[in-house]
Amino acid sequence: MHRAVRDIHSEAERGKVLADAWQRYNAVNAISLGTAAFTWFLGRAVISGRSIDAETRSLVRVKDVLLGATLATSLVNMLSGREMSEQAPGRAVPVQDGDMPSPRTPERAVAMQRILNVMGPLNIALTAGVIGVTTILAMKSGRSTKWSFVSRFLP
């Protein structure tokens, strides 16, 4: 999407289109990550760690950290994006594309864009880590009759 907005000739209109798109994405992202975190941490609070081996317990802790970091970077991205879009009337911050400010981009918006350029890819990597660890945990649960039974009760 970021490169696609280059076809929009007005830099301000590019910024508005990006801000509108990200606002919609952030709502979906907040709901989905909130649901994932809520169900994971609820399950962690309800199920005792005695039903899993040491390796699985380590993976669960890794997922705790990755999920917490994913939530933190998502929040930073949402707040930075909002702050950036508020730097121009009508959220029409002039940009070259989604990753590059234009010479007319306000200083504060440039700073927010730098943050987003780092935190966005970091968030994607952390989310991929959560998915990877979740997959490993699911595979391990299929091999363990005890954990397979317990995991049926997790939300």
pLDDT in tens, 80-120: 999 999 999 999 999 988 788 999 999 999 999 999 999 99
| pLDDT computed for residue 43 by the predictor | 86
| pLDDT computed for residue 130 by the predictor | 96
What average pLDDT score do residues 72-83 get? Answer: 95
Flag whether pLDDT at 44 surpasses 90: no
How far apart CA 17 and CA 4 sit, in angstroms, is 11
Nearest to 81 by CA among 117, 47, 46, 56: 117
| pLDDT computed for residue 98 by the predictor | 78
| pLDDT computed for residue 106 by the predictor | 95
95 phi and psi angles, rounded to 5 deg: -140, 155
Q: How many CA atoms lie within 13 A of 8 on its CB side?
A: 20
102 phi and psi angles, rounded to 5 deg: -100, 170
101 phi and psi angles, rounded to 5 deg: -75, 160
Flag whether pLDDT at 2 surpasses 70: no
Token readout for 1 is 């999407």
